[in-house]
Amino acid sequence: MTNLLFLCGSLRAASSSRALAQTLMDRIADRADSELADIGALPHYNADVEGDPTVAAFVEKVGAADGVVFVTPEYNYSIPGLLKNAIDWASRPAFESVFKGKRCLVATVSGGATGGVRAQSHLKYTLNGMLARVHLDKEIVVPFANAKVEDGTFTDADILSFAGAQLDDFLGTLGT
């Protein structure tokens, strides 16, 4: 079965990005083993730190995954520091990290009308710089995301249908 690692750019338990990630994971449960990585447990990136077991476990999960799905909010026109920190840990050694050739799918959310398009652009730029294989398809952007979560569950049927179709397409590319 396909192994996907989901990275959520928010620490809030009731965040719209976490709700979307969990709903997408549930949608593909019959076709893929999915795990939501706890990137909040990672220490702040410091190149002087070597052998940290939390970092090693995270890097191993990224390396073992057939694909990585990013679901993140947009903070101040970019990606949250939490997510950038996780990426920085897994991006070493430069140009030879576990992200080299790794298939990645990006979805962004925001409380406003743009749906996180700036964060999506910045994240894709960063992933390209690490030689990851960013999935080329219609962009998953979720505007007014906070209004689409009820009791911790992402409920917008149209967005779920659209995002689900992109995730299905992404799953179809894994292993090729």
Superfamily per CATH, domain 2-173: Flavodoxin domain (3.40.50.360)
Nearest Cα residue to 121 out of 139, 104, 101 = 139
Tokens representing 163? 């995002």
Strand ranges in the chain using DSSP code E only, listed in sequence order: 2-8, 32-36, 67-73, 103-109, 133-134, 140-142, 149-150, 153-154
Contact present, 95 and 32 (Cβ < 8 Å): no
| Residue 34 bridge partners (DSSP) | 4
Q: How many CB atoms lie within 10 A of CB 122?
A: 18
Domain positions in the chain are 2-173
Instruction: Please report, in tens digits, the pLDDT of each residue of the chain (176 residues total).
Output: 899 999 999 999 889 999 999 999 999 999 999 999 999 999 999 999 999 999 999 999 999 999 999 999 999 999 999 999 999 999 999 999 999 999 999 999 999 999 999 999 999 999 999 999 999 999 999 999 999 999 989 999 999 999 999 999 999 999 76
